[in-house]
Structure 1
């Protein structure tokens, strides 16, 4: 169903959601930094049990406010009644907030510790994202650095309370976070490159706090940890529903991913034979391509130039064929990641689009080369038409999307599924016709499917594909190594990510399936590709079943 920009006035529900966001950033200043709201960059939450309780209490108040507003909606067509946008907002909001409260009641917030999405990374990433241009900016950085000891002290209180209830992260996750804390507390720390004098008291204070955190994790928490990476079916099903926005048949998804993986491997084998010889294996082909200088990026300057050119070319294809890019969305900066973690990541623009979206990339410590044949697909996944176009388009819809919907809320299946669909879309427009690039695209597909299989396989303790035993981390690492061209350092990071972030990894493929099914249904009803993309992205993030109802005009 085609919708134009309405230019509607903000409703009472929009105002309620906006008040909620402003209360959230008071409680969680790192959120303010992430979405670009000023006034909180000098602050830092303490991640204590009291902090999590306050967050939950504010969510309960929001749900009560929404219910009260909805109770006042009737058939009289008063200006206070919910319009269609409000009804959609209420559906999305209730879905997420009930899940957030369930997480809190289960103690998932207290026990949060992994290598990618827990308080250590939230603090680190907020410091990296802060503005660092004016003297006031640098004063804010220094002030936030002085808050790190209290933040980590509160975090230890939460982890200790969770541990008293038997909820402790595994040795794998604790070891990964210890390494991250030691890097932040040691010589050459990224904290020394934030614009504040490296020898200053704020930097020294924060570094010392991370060193103390590493020691506490090692001496106090690690002895209580398990080596078993599986979280079990009950917890995994709960976390899977949080990330996907709906229940899925995990066993069917696992078998589907295995079937699709076999298809992709067959496609790679055929392609490799056409490129080299009948006897060349897929991994031998990877090595041959890595030896070709034309695909090699050896310096940060080369990497930045290639990223910028790739983004520019992608925009040209999109605007010509299948997107109407709103004003402000076309700006996407490329930068070198100061954390030198390796790989590509993305940070969305600020809510006002003044701070642009940014692709961050760097070569991991010990690596001195990247290969474009393998990495191009990641530009499309993270940047254009992937995460950036999706996030920035939602931010441009200020008339229909309130602050919470356009800048705060995300659904993993929607967002990650779109990013994988974005890779597929660029393939449809000929970007992977060169055999080497096609092999890289197939490798990306293969890894995404392997993620699904590893995540479900380990956490549900399923039989291994070769039927020789039950999935564990050792088998999972070998399986990943067999199914990707990534270097060993990134394979290790990815494995730790799946083990410590259960339920998230399948979001790409599950969401991708849903996006393709929705596109087929929309095209079947006469929508052009451009109309489908414009309509879907301007609605913002939401569970995929709700998005399908909106696009296809079905009643909830």
Structure 2
């Protein structure tokens, strides 16, 4: 669930539910019939089995509800508005103890349930739930609370986005407005607590690299305005519903103006000054996690957590080196195909600089992605039985964070259908957004990538809520990278330049295996990582710098893309070999998409069960 908070980011399992080997046996008991067969005393009776399943479902529902109380902002993102006035206290001792007790008690409870008495789809759910609790308990042994924010994601950025009125926080009623003011007060308190935690980190030598601190400071400075009306947090007042009375409008305007001018801006000014004068001088010189106490052990845990595997860091590094070499060879084949005169580096330079490969206006880039959306949507029914009900829109990254943000990202739609998904494009540097990279980026971030997988997950019904809203980076990013691969079968890469764009994005994910592990386990410097990416890709330097600094901020996350994709591809190849002409690609995609986000081992177990039933 903690992973889901970082992203702020089930129907019955198709093909698995009720598909045991004896599914057609005359002795099968269903919920709508009574069997006359003599019960096998070694197996649970129907009543006992239902009782076990009901106990499991009640347990995970209790956990989900308790977790929403602990994480009120997460509750807002999943469409539960009971806690919209609360901020939460993720840095308090009370919070840390409550989180520990929650994971400990629910792990003990679930271990008392007989997994074998559950249906196949609930066995998957059980495995996910137990896996999450164990990972959370291991995770809390590391002092991540001492580094509560970075330049890539932070509570400050999340609160600005929520306060804009264009994210999950609702602003439809007077109560909604008062709820946000109350939540904002909690955030103001958090800014002081964050400084206290970072002070603890400084004493323990658990601090951010200096360059990341330098990136945070201008993000905070951008929030320091001389009047509330100029603040991004004032946006809800600029958009007061016309249905509000004049009295309500006046009272809310006065309330927000006072809160922003007298409390929020001073709190943000204090946080900014803290970073400038107190934290920057104690920031560390090392760029990777190896420079922290027990840093290499911590990093191995993060690598395992993000990939949901037990792969060693060295193994991941070697896979990356191998993939980089393979993709470079394919890139050179494209160079020869388009008859480019010059070597591969010259080809990279051409694609990264010549005007015909770039838009000159920001809106042109956005419009280009909207056109691509229609082209891709036309192909999707040929490959998927299940598609999301929610639509998505394309938007530019907000100006206050565009200099540090990734080239693109995705935000999930509102659970209640009131807001579409958002495919964010960073238009800050148009030279970092080449036309030849658009097809693969759209496939990854939108459909059939993140938008498909996340929206479908949210829309599934009939299973525990935690499965609809929890996530694993290896699964979600692995699927998105698989979606790029699928674009080849869809005929979307017939143009060699667009195919080069696909290779370029795949190269990024392969380089991440090398660079992320290099930075955090092998002592690489930021400059060394930047140079490696320059040498092996046509990416714009601004994009490379943002990428490397992202890896520095959230170690291990970037490993998940390629690891997840390789696992999905290997499972597909396994299914094709086992089933031959019985293999149905749409049905395979159903298996991957219709249980929510899964750890790699759980996904593998599900696909193996499906292969067995198809035989």
TM over 0.5, yes or no? yes
Partner of 2:149: 113
**In the superposition, relative to structure 1, how do residues 274 and 360 fare at CA in structure 2: closer, same or farther (>3 Å)?**
same
**Counterparts of residues 405-416 of structure 1 (less than 5 Å):** 405-407=467-469, 409-416=470-477
8 Å Cα contact 1:381/1:420 also seen in 2: yes
Q: Cα RMSD (Å) of the superposition?
A: 3.0
- The structural deviation recorded for 1:289 is 6.9
When residues 428 and 421 of structure 1 are mapped into structure 2, their CA distance, relative to the original with a 3 A threshold, is same
The residue that corresponds to 1:36 in the other structure is 79
Partner secondary structure for residue 424 of structure 2? strand
The structure that has the greater radius of gyration is 2
| 1:344 counterpart residue number | 408
Deviations along 1:275-322, whole A, 9 cap, x unmatched? 25332544555545754557526133x3443323322322221212x1
* TM-score under structure 2 length normalisation: 0.79
Among 420, 424, 443, the residue aligned to 2:504:
443
Secondary structure at 1:185's aligned position in 2? coil
Partners of 1:352 and 1:384 lie apart in 2 by 20
Counterpart position of 1:296: 359
Aligned to 2:172: 134
In the aligned structure 2, how far is the partner of 1:19 from the partner of 1:336? 39
Contact 1:44–1:144 at 8 Å: present in 2 too?
Answer: yes
Flag the 1:489–1:312 CA change in 2: closer, same or farther, 3 A. same
> TM-score, normalising length from structure 1?
0.87
Q: Which of 550, 563, 568 is residue 497 of structure 1 equivalent to?
A: 550
Q: How far apart are 1:192 and its partner, in Å?
A: 4.5
What is aligned with 1:486? Answer: 539
* Match of residue 332 from structure 2: 269
Deviation at 1:170, TM superposition (A): 2.1
CA distance in 1, matches of 2:507, 2:388: 35
Distance 1:207 1:492, change over 3 A: farther
What does residue range 208-223 of structure 1 map to in structure 2 within 5 Å? Answer: 208-223=266-281
Counterpart position of 1:466: none
TM superposition outliers: structure 1 runs of 4+ over 6 Å: 4-10
Once the two structures are TM-superposed, the CA of residue 48 in structure 1 deviates from its matched residue by: 2.2
CA 286–312 in structure 1, closer or farther in 2 if over 3 Å, else same: farther
Deviations 1:89-126 (A, max 9, x none): 22111112111111112222343432224433443444
What is the distance in 2 between the residues matched to 1:518 and 1:307?
31
| Distance change >3 Å, CA 474–CA 450, structure 1 → 2 | same
CA drift of 1:417 comes to 0.9
How far is 1:416 from its partner? 0.9
Query: In 2, Cα distance between the equivalents of 1:125 and 1:22?
Result: 25
Q: What is residue 465 of structure 1 aligned with on the other side?
A: none
How many angstroms apart in 2 are the aligned matches of 1:125 and 1:485?
Answer: 32
Q: Is the 8 A contact 2:91 2:145 kept in 1?
A: no
Name which of structure 1's ranges 261-270 and 197-206 shifts more when overlaid on structure 2: 197-206
Residues 500-515 of structure 1 aligned to structure 2 (within 5 Å): 500-515=553-568
Given that residues 374 and 485 in structure 1 are in contact (C-alpha distance below 8 angstroms), is that contact kept between their aligned partners in structure 2?
no
Residue in structure 2 matched with residue 382 of structure 1 by the alignment? 445
CA separation of 1:241/1:272 partners in 2, compared to 1, >3 Å: closer, same or farther?
same
Pairing partner for 1:419 from 480, 484, 495: 480
Contact 2:288 2:521 (8 Å CA) reproduced: yes
What's the CA shift for 1:513?
0.9
- Per-residue displacement from partner, 1:317-362 (whole Å, max 9, x unpaired)? 1212x11124614x22333333452522111123344433221224
2:264 aligns with 206
The alignment of Structure 1 onto Structure 2 pairs a total of residues equal to 533
Residues 1:55 and 2:99 are matched in the alignment: yes
Alpha-carbon distance in 2 for matches of 1:84, 1:340: 44
Alpha carbons of structure 1 residues 457 and 106: separation in structure 2 relative to 1, 3 Å: same
> What's the offset of the Cα at 1:396?
2.5
CA contact (8 A) 1:257 1:449 kept: yes
Q: Is the 8 A contact 1:290 1:296 kept in 2?
A: no
| 1:61-115 deviation per Cα after TM superposition (whole angstroms, max 9, x unaligned) | 32233234x05x78xxxxxx53333322221111121111111122223434322
Q: Distance in 2 between matches of 1:380 and 1:394?
A: 18
Aligned to 1:310: 372
What does residue range 219-238 of structure 1 map to in structure 2 within 5 Å? 219-232=277-290, 233-238=296-301
Which residue does the alignment assign to 1:464?
A: none
Question: 1:139 Cα shift?
Answer: 4.2
For 1:333, the equivalent position in structure 2 comes to 393
Query: Contact (CA 8 Å) 1:49, 1:110: kept in 2 or not?
Result: no
Q: Structure 1 residues 159 and 385 mapped into 2: Cα distance closer, same or farther (>3 Å)?
A: same
What runs of 5+ residues in structure 2 fail to find an aligned partner?
A: 1-12, 19-29, 32-49, 239-252, 291-295
SS at match of 2:497: helix
Gaps spanning 5+ residues in structure 1: where? 75-80, 462-469
User: Match of 1:398?
Assistant: 461
**Whole-Å separation in 2 of the counterparts to 1:195 and 1:492:** 37
* Distance of 2:501 and 2:537 partners within structure 1: 9
